[in-house]
Amino acid sequence: MRSAEVRHFPGTSYFNDNTGELVRDVYIGYPERVAEKLSASNISVTAFRKLLSLVKPLHIRIQKEGASAIARAELEEAFYRLRRYVKYQRARDRKFEVVDKFLDLFDQSEQPLYPGKSADNYAAFVELLTSIAVYLRRRESSRND
C-alpha cells in the first residue's frame, strides 16, 4: 500500500483484501477496493446511489465550508437517516448486509466515523462513501460501453 493513498483512523475498520472480511483497528485505504467488495456483493447501483443521495448535499457543504462549520445535530441526523435507509434496504435485499456491517463497525469503533465524536471523522466517512459511488458509476458506465 502506498502511504499517500491510505488514511488511518485508530479504532476504525476496513475490508481485508485477502479474506473479504471486515477488520477492526487497521488502515482504511483504497476506497476503490471497498467499492469492489460492495459491487461484488451485487448491491444494486440504484440502491447505492440512493444511499449516496442521503449524504451528498451535506458532503458538498463540508467541502465548501469545512466539517467544523456544520452543526453536530445536523451531522447526526444525516448519519442516522443513512443508517435507517441501510436497515430498510437490508430487510429487502440480503446483499445489502455488507453495507450495514460496514456502517456498524464505524458506529461501534472507539473513534467512530460518525458525528457524535468528530465532525472531521464524519467528513472522512462521507468522502469514503463518495469515492465508492464514483467507482460504481465508473464501473456502470464501462459496462454500458
Note the pLDDT tens digit of each residue in 31-46.
555 556 666 666 666 7
Question: Cα separation of 51 and 72, whole Å?
Answer: 20
Grid coordinates representing 89 are: 434496504
| Structural domain containing residue 136 | 3-144
Query: Which of 39-53, 72-86, 114-128, 129-143 shows the lowest mean pLDDT across its residues?
Result: 114-128
Domains: count for the chain: 1
- pLDDT given at position 128: 65
Residues for the chain: how many in total? 145
Q: Name the 3-class secondary structure at 132.
A: helix
Taking only the tens place, the pLDDT of each residue in 52-87 is 677 677 767 777 877 667 776 776 677 778 778 888
Residues 82 and 89: their CA atoms lie apart, in Å, by: 11
Contacts for 25 with CB less than 8 Å, ≥ 6 apart: 10, 11, 12, 13
What does the pLDDT read at residue 127? 64
Highest mean pLDDT among 21-30, 35-44, 45-54, 123-132: 45-54
> Kind and range of the H or E element at 26?
none
Q: How far apart are CA 107 and CA 33, in angstroms?
A: 21
The pLDDT, as a whole number, for residue 47 is: 72
Continuous H helices in the chain: 31-40, 45-65, 72-92, 97-108, 119-144
- The helix or strand, by DSSP H or E, that contains position 29, with its residue range, turns out to be strand 28-29
Pick from 61-70, 100-109, 127-136: least confident: 100-109
Query: Per-residue confidence at 105, pLDDT binned at 50, 70, 90?
Result: low
- Burial of 12 (C-beta count, 10 Å sphere; 0-12/13-18/19+): buried
In the three-class reduction of DSSP (H, G, I as helix; E, B as strand; rest coil), residue 28 is classed as strand
